[in-house]
Amino acid sequence: MVAVTETEASSLLVRDLKKSFPAPDDPLVRREVLGGISFSLAAGELVSLIGPSGCGKSTLLRLIAGLETSDAGDLLIESDPITAPNAERGLVFQDPNLFPWLSVRRNIQAGLVARGVLHEKKQEVDEFMRLVGLEVFANAYPHHLSGGMAQRAALARALINHPKVLLLDEPLGALDAFTRMRMQDEVLRLWQTRRTTMLLVTHDIDEAIYMSDRIMIMTPRPGRIERTIAVSLTRPRQRSSDDFLRLRSDILNFLHFAGKA
Partner 1 sequence: MEAQEDLVSTEPAEPASILRWRTMLAVPVAAAFALTLHTFIAKNEPPLEAHSYRLLFFEVIAVAIVLALLRRFSPGLRRWMARMWPIFTAAILLLCVWDVVTLGFRLLPLPYFPGPSAVLRSLINDRVMLLDSTWHSLVLLLSGYVLGVIAGLISGICIGWSTPVRYWGMPILKVVGPIPATAWIPLAMVLSPSAVVSSAALIALAVWFPVTMLTASGISNTRASYLDVARTLGAGRTYLIFRVAIPAALPNIFIGLFMGLGASFLTLVVAESVGVKSGLGWYVSWAQGWAEYGKVFAALIIMAAFFSTIMTLLFKLRDHVLVWQRGIIKW
CB 106 within 8 A of CB 179: no
Residues forming a β-bridge with 20: 32
- From candidates 11, 58, 161, 202, binder to partner 1 by CB under 8 A: 161
Q: Which one, 22 or 221, has the nearer CB to partner 1?
A: 22
Would you count residue 158 as binding partner 1 (CB under 8 A)? yes
Nearest to 133 by CA among 123, 120, 122, 145: 145
Q: Which one, 167 or 229, has the nearer CB to partner 1?
A: 167
Give the x-and-dash track for 163-192 against partner 1 (CB under 8 A). Answer: ----x-------------------------
Nearest to 160 by CA among 132, 198, 202, 180: 132
Would you count residue 21 as binding partner 1 (CB under 8 A)? no
132 Ramachandran zone, left/alpha/beta (phi>0; psi -120 to 50): alpha
- From candidates 49, 65, 104, 199, binder to partner 1 by CB under 8 A: 65
Q: Is the peptide bond before 222 cis (omega within 30 degrees of 0)?
A: yes
- From candidates 19, 157, 164, 224, binder to partner 1 by CB under 8 A: 157
Please name the helix (run of DSSP H) or strand (run of DSSP E) that holds residue 77, with its range, or none.
strand 72-77
d(Cα 76, Cα 52) in Å, to the nearest integer? 26
Helix axes 147-159, 177-194, angle to 10 degrees: 20
d(Cα 230, Cα 55) in Å, to the nearest integer? 21
- From candidates 44, 66, 73, 220, binder to partner 1 by CB under 8 A: 66
Q: Least distance (Å) from partner 1 to the CB of residue 97?
A: 5
Q: Which one, 157 or 224, has the nearer CB to partner 1?
A: 157
Q: Which one, 111 or 229, has the nearer CB to partner 1?
A: 111
Q: Least distance (Å) from partner 1 to the CB of residue 125?
A: 14
Q: Which one, 128 or 210, has the nearer CB to partner 1?
A: 128
Instruction: Count interface residues toward partner 1 (CB under 8 A).
Output: 29
Please name the helix (run of DSSP H) or strand (run of DSSP E) that holds residue 42, with its range, or none.
strand 30-42
Q: Least distance (Å) from partner 1 to the CB of residue 101?
A: 4
Q: Which one, 140 or 181, has the nearer CB to partner 1?
A: 140
* Sheet of 89-92, strands arranged across: 89-92, 165-169, 197-201, 46-50, 214-219, 224-230
CB 82 within 8 A of CB 66: yes
Q: Which one, 130 or 144, has the nearer CB to partner 1?
A: 144
Neighbours of 27 (CB within 10 A): 9
Site for partner 1 in 73-132 (CB under 8 A): 85-87, 89-91, 93, 95, 97, 99-102, 110-111, 113-115
Binding site for partner 1 (CB under 8 A): 62, 65-67, 85-87, 89-91, 93, 95, 97, 99-102, 110-111, 113-115, 141, 143-144, 157-158, 161, 167
